[in-house]
Amino acid sequence: MKLQLSRRLWVLSQVMRQLWFVAAIYCLAGIATALVGVLLNPYIPEGLGRTIGADSVGSLLSIIASSMLTVLIFSLNTVVQASSAAASSATPRAVGTLLEDRTAQAALSTFLGSFIFSLVGLIALNTNLYGAGGRLVLFIATLAVIVLIIGILLRWINYLGRLGKISRTIEQVEDQAITSMRNYRAEPFLGGRRFDGHMPGGLQMIDPPETGYLRFIDIAALDAVARKLDADIYVLERPGAFVAPGRHIAGIRLPQDADVADESMVNEAARAFTIGHERNYTQDPLYGVTVMSQIALRALSPAVNDPGTAIDVVTHLVRIMQAGERPDEDREPRYPHIHMPTITAEEFFDAAFTAMARDGAGMAEVVIHLLHACRALSHEEMAGFAEMSEKFTTMTLARAQETLRFQSDIERVERAAGRVNAASPVTFRKNSPEQ
């Protein structure tokens, strides 16, 4: 059973994925490694430090310092160019996943940490902080850093060929989206009870304190408020929704013998909702599906005209929407006082396929793959997927029939949808009565 993150742990997890945080950890490690020789110097025999030839450590550190600064600047420039390429060829929403790439973070952080290590080591050497034993420790640490740099450089060189490519960007978005989808299918109501949208009377409404996207809901904190009030809390908006003051995000249903909740308790409940400028994958499975669909739309635009990428995206979308296992419906909710709305099958299909069916209606190969995707998803056990598959098959076919001009393409599409009349002759659709 997956435990829901608290708001503090969620914020910490978001910070730990940032490039600056990883780089800072490597920098601290580099400083600690450079100074460990000072601490170990009294415990190393002086003769041992002089016999191994640790006097050359200064020149090695100078080489590392000058070369790592150059490599770091080059690598940063490469990452910036890859981010710009991802934003232009895929979608700006995919840039965040690229900057969270562990290989790129490890490479940049290693280069920066090695530079800091060599810089601190040189400063310590020039100020005579090391004795003979300390220089030996620094020499051994320098050799270890060189081995680490060589390994990271080989891995980085092999990875540069994929960085910023549309295929790699799609894979990174898919990884995030699949994780989010698995979390959703494991706990579709975030540990609370299902809320079908029919609000009971007498709710004391909670408004968002600011305008933006709902990024995260601390269900445990919300449940703690409900227990203090001996009340039920009905969440009206799921993570990913655009909210603003005046648009209620939740409602508190107090016991019949209670008046209204204290303002401090209402404010405490409001703080369980984190609002920001961008959506987040953690509790929002629709976000990954939407980003994938936007990548396909960019590929289908006249400026790019790359239906092959759109077809690849359709395949990835099917994998995303099939990810995860069916939850145990008999399991008791961990937060019985919290009522959470569900995400309907129509919302999943609309986020994934509606825009592609519209913009790709004039390309038979794209339409055919969309129809195949709908057929594949019709066998999913998620509620409503079979009905939505039929509905979106009909909608996609109707768009294609209205847009395609060549009768052979129309018949291919109808055949893919399983609705073709094999006896119908192949004819051509005329653009105007004069043709």
Say what the pLDDT of residue 4 is: 62
Average pLDDT over residues 38-58: 66
Average pLDDT over residues 155-165: 84
Neighbours of 68 (CB within 10 A): 22
Domain limits, the chain = 7-164, 181-276, 285-333+342-417
3-state secondary structure 328-366: CCCCCCCCCCEEEECCCHHHHHHHHHHHHHHHCCCCHHH
Say what the pLDDT of residue 425 is: 39
How far apart, in whole angstroms, are the C-alpha atoms of residue 338 and residue 217? 11
Q: Given a cut of 60, is residue 289 above it in pLDDT?
A: yes
Say what the pLDDT of residue 55 is: 61
Average pLDDT over residues 341-346: 91
Average pLDDT over residues 193-211: 83
HSE-CB at 91 with a 13 A cutoff on CA atoms is 24
Of 89-93, 297-301, 352-356, the one with minimum mean pLDDT is 89-93
- Region of residue 212 (left: phi > 0; alpha: psi -120 to 50; beta: else): left
- Which comes out higher in pLDDT, residue 376 or 256? 376
Torsion sign over Cα 429, 431, 434, 435: negative
Say what the pLDDT of residue 434 is: 39
How far apart, in whole angstroms, are the C-alpha atoms of residue 165 and residue 365? 23
Distance, CA of 9 to chain centre: 17
Residue-wise DSSP of 173-204: HHHHHHHHHHHHHH-TTTTSEEE-S-PPSS-E
Q: Which residues contact 255 (CB under 8 A, 6 or more apart)?
A: 230, 231
How are the residues of the chain apportioned to helix, strand and coil, as percentages rounded to the nearest 5?
Answer: 60, 5, 30
- What is the widest separation between alpha-carbon atoms in the chain? 102
Contact 190, 217 (CB under 8 A): yes
The pLDDT mean for the chain works out to: 84
How far apart, in whole angstroms, are the C-alpha atoms of residue 216 and residue 214? 6
pLDDT band at 46 (very low <50, low <70, confident <90, very high): low
Of 89-98, 175-184, 337-346, the one with minimum mean pLDDT is 89-98
Say what the pLDDT of residue 12 is: 84
- Which comes out higher in pLDDT, residue 94 or 214? 214
Tokens (6 digits) for 174 = 């898919």
Query: CA triplet 307, 311, 312: central angle to 5 degrees?
Result: 120
Q: Which CATH number fits domain 181-276: 2.60.40.10, 3.40.718.10, 3.90.1150.10, 3.90.1170.30?
A: 3.90.1170.30
Helices and strands, number each (H, E), in the chain: 17, 8
CA distances from 20 to 106, 108, 224 (A): 11, 10, 34
Distance, CA of 266 to chain centre: 31
* 248-287 pLDDT per residue, tens: 999 888 887 677 777 888 888 889 999 999 999 989 999 9
Q: Given a cut of 80, is residue 329 above it in pLDDT?
A: no
Contact 276, 213 (CB under 8 A): yes
pLDDT cut 70: percent of the chain above it: 90
Average pLDDT over residues 218-228: 91
